[in-house]
Structure 1
Amino acid sequence: MFTAIFSTKFLHKNFKDKLLMNTSHFRIIQRTETIRKDGTSSLYLYANINGVKKYFTTGKAILTKHWNSKTQKVSANCNNYTDIQDSIDLFLGRAKEFTAIANIEKRTIDLDAFERMLRGDVYDQADFIAFMEHDIKNNCSKYEKGTIANYKVQVSKLKFFRSKLPFVQLNPFFWREYESHLIGIGNNPNTVHKAFRTLKVFIHRAIEQGIIQANPFIKIRVERKEGQMQYLTREELHKLEKIYSGFLTKELKKTLRYFLFACYTGLRYSDIKELKHNHIFLGEHSYVEKEMFKTSRKVNIPLIDQAIKLIPEKALPQVPVFNAYCNQVTNRHLKSIMKLAGINKPISFHCARHTFATITLGLSGDIAVVSKMLGHTKIETTQIYAKVQDEQKRKAMGMWNS
Structure 2
Amino acid sequence: MTHTCTKVTVRQRAIRNDKISLYLDYYPAVRNPETMQMSRREYLGIYIYAHPKNEMEREFNNDMLNKAEAIRCIRVQSLINEEFGFLDKHKMKADFLAYFAKMTRSKDQKWKVVYAHFSNFVQGKCSFGEVNVDLCKRFRTYLLNAKQLKHTRHKVSLNSAAGYYSTFRGLLKIAYRDKLLRENINDFLDKIECQDVKKEYLTLDEVKQLAATPCDIPVLKAASLFSCLTGLRISDIMNLQWSDFGIAPDHGYCIRIRTQKTKTEATLPISHEAFELCGEVGTGKVFKGLSRSMINYPLKNWLKQAKINKHITFHCFRHSFATIQIAAGTDIYTVSKMLTHRNVSTTQIYAELVSEKKRESANKISLK
Same-fold call, TM > 0.5? yes
Please name the residue that 1:167 is paired with.
131
Max radius of gyration: which structure? 1
Of residues 234, 242, 254, the one that matches 1:277 is 242
Of 322, 327, 330, the match for 1:362:
327
User: In the alignment, residue 125 of structure 2 is paired with which amino acid?
Assistant: K
Q: What whole-Å deviation, never above 9, does each CA across 1:194-227 have from its counterpart, x for those lacking one?
A: 1222232233445552634463893645211111
Q: In structure 2, give the amino acid aligned to 1:164.
A: K
In structure 1, the residue corresponding to 2:364 is in which secondary structure?
A: helix
* Equivalent residue, structure 2, for 1:47: 36
Letter in 2 for 1:256: K
Aligned residue among 130, 133, 157 for 1:188: 157
Deviation of 1:242 after TM superposition, in Å, equals 0.6
Amino acid at match of 2:226: F
- 1:302 and 2:269 aligned: yes
Does 1:157 pair with 2:129?
Answer: no
TM-score under structure 1 normalisation? Answer: 0.64
Residue in structure 2 matching 1:263, options 215, 228, 242 = 228
Instruction: Provide the residue aligned with 1:130 in structure 2.
Output: 98
Query: After the TM superposition, which residues 111-260 of structure 1 pair with which residues of structure 2 at under 5 Å, given as runs?
Result: 125=94, 128-134=96-102, 140=106, 145-146=107-108, 149-161=109-121, 162-165=123-126, 166-167=130-131, 170=135, 172-182=137-147, 185-208=154-177, 209=179, 211-213=181-183, 215=185, 218=188, 220-244=190-214, 248-249=215-216, 252-260=217-225
User: Residue type of the partner of 2:206?
Assistant: E
Q: Aligned pair in 2 of structure 1 residues 178, 374: CA closer, same or farther (>3 Å)?
A: closer
Please tell me whether the aligned partners of residues 262 and 352 of structure 1 are also in contact (alpha carbons under 8 angstroms). Answer: yes
Distance in 1 between the 2:33 and 2:336 partners? 57
Note the C-alpha offset of 1:331. Answer: 2.6
Structure 2 CA distance for partners of 1:387 and 1:47, relative to 1, 3 Å: same
Query: Residues 144 and 158 of structure 2 are in contact (CA less than 8 Å); yes or no, is this contact kept in structure 1?
Result: no
Deviation per residue, 1:53-79 (Å, 9 max, x gap): xxxxxxxxxxxxxxxxxxxxxxxxxxx
Q: Is the 8 A contact 2:143 2:156 kept in 1?
A: no
More helix by proportion, 1 or 2? 1
**RMSD of equivalent CA atoms:** 3.8
CA distance in 1, matches of 2:103, 2:29: 28
Q: 1:193 to 1:293 in 2, by over 3 A?
A: same
How big is each residue's C-alpha offset from its partner over 1:250-288, in whole Å with a ceiling of 9 and x where there is no partner? xx2221111111111111111111111122236952232
In structure 1, what is the equivalent of residue 306 of structure 2?
341
Q: How many residue pairs are counted as aligned between the two chains?
A: 303
Identity %: 25
- For the residue of structure 2 that corresponds to 1:299, the secondary structure is strand
User: What residue in structure 2 maps to residue 79 of structure 1?
Assistant: none
The TM-score, its normalising length taken from structure 2, stands at 0.69
Partner of 2:355: 390
Which residue of 2 is the match for residue 293 of structure 1? Answer: 260
